[in-house]
Structure 1
């Protein structure tokens, strides 16, 4: 049998958002191809939280169960591979896979996620996603009442501190050499007994991802059990650029309330399109994208 190469919808990215979109489309009997390279951003995190019915589950277990359920719909197919480029063509879009395979679809959903750009600090990568975390909602409850550091400054550091303040009485912000708090912010931090350390962090002492503390540029050692950080990120895929999709000032793919990008027929969902990096957000935006793509197809065909 000849391999199918044309679909109603191609979804690039097969984690929470992409699978959620595929389920919505599969249930409407749309021919769907999911392309995924198996490199989700949260693969370093041992447990996922704050997603009802799966609180505390291993992230890969959630994905595996979701994939099994999605692939039960007969019109959905899965391609393990890396999508290297995409372009507009008559009646839709074409997607090139590493290795040369070419697929086409009437609509395209980008669920490509983001990639964290970790700072060059010894011990950072080894701790990331374990005891060096990004989100109080995703991980904060599990590390409550622990001696906590926040490696961030300015608005981002102040925001994280305001959220974490409710979870621990031992809290210090590590500005890593930056001094960009306003007088009002400093006053509030002092009011809540939140320390501010401006010396640069040279290394993070850890064992198997369990943080012991940090070494500063002046050779001092500060003890911590857990730390929050807000590293920079970049889009995991440049395909949005191939298609001419606009980005927001923060670097996300720009979408409207229905997950439609600035390019007609191209939708985006999950981490690549919004700042709320959680499983619940990815699933929700994927579901919206799938439903809206089906709605667009209905409008064209009915």
Structure 2
């Protein structure tokens, strides 16, 4: 096989065309958690009806790569080297703004593991840290998986199977498995250590949004701009629209920059549910979150 992909189970089911694109290019795609790995079997034994999560898929992919000669695990988010690669997004954005003499006041991006937002804000945050310019930076996450807004700042595992090194980050606990929302790319229990530290230091804000509000904003955006956004990007769109409405009310002028990365054409099952009025919202209770928090490693220096 050219490539073995472990795809989060709910995304595997909700985004069949995304799955088929990968298969067309030669990848073998397995819904995670699966019976193909030891950690997958353990997760299914503990949570037989689980819809999976990015944390589960990471565990299975790492196990498969470690056991197969010639295999390498390719990380898609969270860690520092991924944010470094993603900075091309922010660098190109800044060059474009500078070219037209536009000074951004507010920069908004969706946040799951953090690579999308981290890449977008990096050159602007550099200016902010050096005291050259100030920006209001907002991370937008799903209310169903509120790592920044309701998580704990602690050392935790990056995956559900607890095989990865510990990271200091905002986390809901590696054992927390989010509800089966339609923004699969944001269903991660933790957050980039870089973004977590910036948030902890008060250099950026975070907001959580329910998915029906997100899809309402995405639908309005599509009808006005002619672009069908991915659900993940639509989180940033929602907050950008809300901030623009505030400016309209106050008469204040602001240049609002938001990250629009990804098409929604692989997410038509989600749009269909929204259009049919069958989409629902889920916000975890404090008891739901406590189960995840209870699994965060306890050791001296990791108090939270």
* Structure number having the greater helix percentage: 2
* Structure number having the greater strand percentage: 1
> Shared fold (TM-score greater than 0.5)?
no
TM-score by length of 2: 0.23
Structure with more contact order per residue of length (Cα contacts < 8 Å, sep ≥ 6): 1
TM-score by length of 1: 0.24
